[in-house]
Structure 1
Amino acid sequence: MSIVGNSGYRVLIYSHDTFGLGHLRRCRTIAHALVSRRDDVSVLILSGSPIIGSFEFRSRVDFVRIPGVIKLSNGEYTSLNLNIDVDQILEMRESIIKHTADVFNPDIFIVDKEPLGLRGEVESTLRMLRHRRTRLVMGLRDVMDDPVHLREEWDRKQCVPALAELYDEIWVYGLQEICNPLEGIDLPPGVENKMAYTGYLPRTATQRPTPEHGALGLEEPYYLVTTGGGGDGVNLVDWVISAYEADETIAVPSLVVLGPFMAPAEQKSFMERAEKIDKLSVITFDANVEMLMHNSAGVIAMGGYNTFCEILSFDKPAVIVPRTVPRLEQYVRASAAEKLGLVKMLTEDKGRDPRQMADALHGLISQPKPSHVTVPNLMGGLDRVGDLVDRWLPPQMAAE
């Protein structure tokens, strides 16, 4: 079969990716689902992730890597690798984004999380494509932040007018029963009508074991400890290792994935501590972390969006230790999920008592799986996204 008329439909996805892996992995999941569903769609991802090249992409999915930036503790941005002024970096990024969109000429443009992009870098592209009548979609995870902080941030960035003026639809990759990501935002008339809740985005595990896996000796049941990108995962890893140091009776070993963005000094320290404990294995990064989770007996994680989707997809009992700085996103999600009985949550309110984590590790092996709770359309996100795309992109004529 060959498509007649043109080279097929084109979907462009923007992922600003200043830090971590969450945005990139979500966009990649959506891209793969779209090309798997339809053979007349190609997807191009715009990303600032420095490790996007470490991931595999399916046929008809590709990426453009824009210069990376990183957010400092004071809220300012700086270049990730280049020794040039951040304003120049942002100017370059905006130019690359707009030129790519101009040439690629997408039928649909999906912007992940930031309505105007990093420091407004996508606004000119949005206006150009709107003039061409490209369908413009704002994609939001289930939880953005607590309402007070989100309102302050979006007022400062002038995001709300963009939802009314520029976007055709707002896709929320979650369920309204769990969270409304725009709760507390004073939305202009008509914006709420643009919102479509898709359900969570299911994940699959690729049967692609690496030599490193075999060297870890993971045949026996193990827990997966994952920090996502790892840049803010130090407390979680320290707590888990401290539990094994304090309690030699924890029966199930753990595989700790530190994350590629954890500081090298922290990585080295954790690896040295773990070498003294038979029941701990530590690796820095695995682009196929879904397979590690699929094979695990349970998960200890911070509870970012992608990890939460994987826990539900692979039906793993989980202990979530959410971060609360600089956002409450993970805490809001974990609290709602715990109330539904999907996961258990530990917080650092009273410090990181090794005995508390040890108790959680003892109990995780017998903790009920998420599937013991019935939540309608919980994992219907990719099918719903496909349906939303189909409404705008009618099947093209095909011939032998």
Structure 2
Amino acid sequence: MDSSLDVLIYAHDGRGLGHVSRSVGIGLALRRLFPRLSVLLVTGCATTAELIGNGCLDWIKLPSYKTNVTDGKSSGLRGDSNIDDKLLGELRARNIRDIVDAYKPKVFLADHTPQGKHKELIPSHSVSAQTVRVLGVRAVVGEVGKVWSEFSADVFSGTYREILWYGDSTVAGKAEIERLASHYSVTPREVGYVSRLSEFQFLGSEKAVDKKLGGVVSIPWSGEGTSVLLDKLSRVFSGIDESYGKWKIYMNLREPEAGRAGKIFKDLPNVLLEQVGPQFLQDLSASRSAIIYGGYNSLSDVMTCGVPSIVLLRGMKDGEQEEHASLLADRSSLIQGVFADQELSAEELRDNLLKSLETEIHDCSINLNGAENAARYLASLAGECDVDRRS
């Protein structure tokens, strides 16, 4: 095969950081374990560079999608390029096809769906016929129509070979694997939870830290309930003794809500606003508690760092976060409580946060080696011997 690239990774983008964070984690693991391999990530996510941090992973930036969420249902908007959502999908499809045609990767890993967002992967399936195509799927998919459609199954059967399941069956059971196997006619390969933060420990910049922060709050994307949540947080933090330490709220500071957050917390010296990025790992590790949304990425983060956490839900129609957070809460004391963000009062949030600050964690064994396991398998598909290359 006339290939210029060993592994090309595609990350679905538009809302949240879970898809891109998983893809970054696997890309970093590939570059760490197999430095001779050539690896590229392609995505439209604007915060990808912050997620990679000091890691050794190159990426190609596509124009970004933008998603609005109303009553738990997503709809496309014009992104930062100000190109219509449907037209942008067509243009990105051409971009991706050209990238695959030019680089002819030995292995192509797609996150979430075989067709890609707005079917933008479809044109690339007609080029580079010898490329081995692999689909990566999160631990709990939820009722995502584009994953469970007959069209998705047909696309997979015509172009893909394998499924990597980013979960742990001792936590989630076998039901999701069996459902995927039935739908796609391929038994998924279980690799464990993919944690980008797990890879950061190998970069050499992170050191053991004391639990000096009261906690962190992760709001990776703003939604219809964000302003209400920020008001609740200001009331909570104004009433918690400063002896617990400072609180850091991680947001995408490029979003309009961040400006409002700056005004809300300007009179609270114990609260700091931070841009989503690699510093989150160090701060989460140094925290006694956390408030997170129930996305795959955030749940993996707190499991990796062992921080007792309050999990908020946005009420998305696919039900993925509710199901996943509930499964983890049943298995680990790290998940202190799961609540709908718009229904939880400031008083309830404060009481549960104080409880988390005093919680003694009883560890639960969860497989968090998904990035490394996935990287080893992808490297083997690219023809690389599976040996440990950390030295």
TM-score range, shorter chain: 0.7 to 0.9
The two structures have a TM-score, normalised by structure 1, of 0.82
The CA deviation string for residues 52-81 of structure 1, in whole angstroms up to 9 with x for no partner, is: 34443644x311111112123474423312
Q: Relative to 1, partners in 2 of residues 1:364 and 1:251: Cα closer, same or farther, differing over 3 Å?
A: farther
Structure 2: distance between partners of 1:374 and 1:172: 18
Structure with the bigger RCO (C-alpha within 8 Å, sep 6+) is: 2
The CA deviation string for residues 131-184 of structure 1, in whole angstroms up to 9 with x for no partner, is: 22x111101111221xxx33x444558212223332211111111233354676
1:293 corresponds to which of 269, 278, 284: 284
Aligned 8 A contact 1:258 1:282 in 2: yes
2:42 corresponds to which of 41, 46, 49: 46
Structure 1: distance between partners of 2:311 and 2:55: 31
Structure 2: distance between partners of 1:277 and 1:345: 26
Match of 1:226 in 2: 218
Match runs of 1:242-321 below 5 Å = 242-245=235-238, 247-249=239-241, 251-260=243-252, 263-264=255-256, 266-321=257-312
1:361 corresponds to which of 344, 353, 359: 353
2:374 corresponds to which of 366, 380, 385: 385
The CA deviation string for residues 15-61 of structure 1, in whole angstroms up to 9 with x for no partner, is: 121133222222111101001001221111111112334443644x3
Aligned 8 A contact 1:142 1:172 in 2: yes
Structure 1: distance between partners of 2:150 and 2:225: 28
Question: 1:326: how far off?
Answer: 4.1
Q: Does 1:144 align with 2:141?
A: yes
The CA deviation string for residues 208-258 of structure 1, in whole angstroms up to 9 with x for no partner, is: 69xxxxxxxx9943201111234467154443323234x344752442324
Superposed CA RMSD in Å reads 3.1
Aligned 8 A contact 1:68 1:81 in 2: yes
Q: Does 1:92 align with 2:91?
A: yes
Q: Which moved more, 1:249-258 or 1:303-312?
A: 249-258
Question: 1:380: how far off?
Answer: 2.2
Identity %: 20
From the CA coordinates, give the structure whose radius of gyration is larger: 1
Q: Does 1:26 align with 2:22?
A: yes
Structure 1: distance between partners of 2:75 and 2:240: 44
Unaligned runs of 5+ residues in structure 2 are 386-391
Question: 1:312: how far off?
Answer: 1.5
Q: Which moved more, 1:329-338 or 1:49-58?
A: 49-58
3-state SS, counterpart of residue 182 of structure 2: coil
Match of 1:325 in 2: 316
Match of 2:132 in 1: 135
Q: Which moved more, 1:247-256 or 1:301-310?
A: 247-256
Structure 2: distance between partners of 1:248 and 1:197: 43
1:12 corresponds to which of 8, 12, 17: 8
Q: Does 1:190 align with 2:185?
A: yes
Amino acid corresponding to residue 347 of structure 2 in structure 1 = R
Aligned 8 A contact 2:109 2:135 in 1: yes
1:171 corresponds to which of 158, 164, 176: 164
3-state SS, counterpart of residue 241 of structure 1: helix
Structure 2: distance between partners of 1:321 and 1:261: 20
Structure 2: distance between partners of 1:11 and 1:189: 23
Q: Does 1:394 align with 2:383?
A: yes
The two structures have a TM-score, normalised by structure 2, of 0.83
Unaligned runs of 5+ residues in structure 1 are 1-5, 210-217
Match of 1:334 in 2: 325
Structure 1: distance between partners of 2:349 and 2:15: 27
Q: Does 1:201 align with 2:194?
A: yes
Q: Relative to 1, partners in 2 of residues 1:374 and 1:366: Cα closer, same or farther, differing over 3 Å?
A: same
| Residue-pair matches, total | 370
Aligned 8 A contact 2:251 2:273 in 1: no
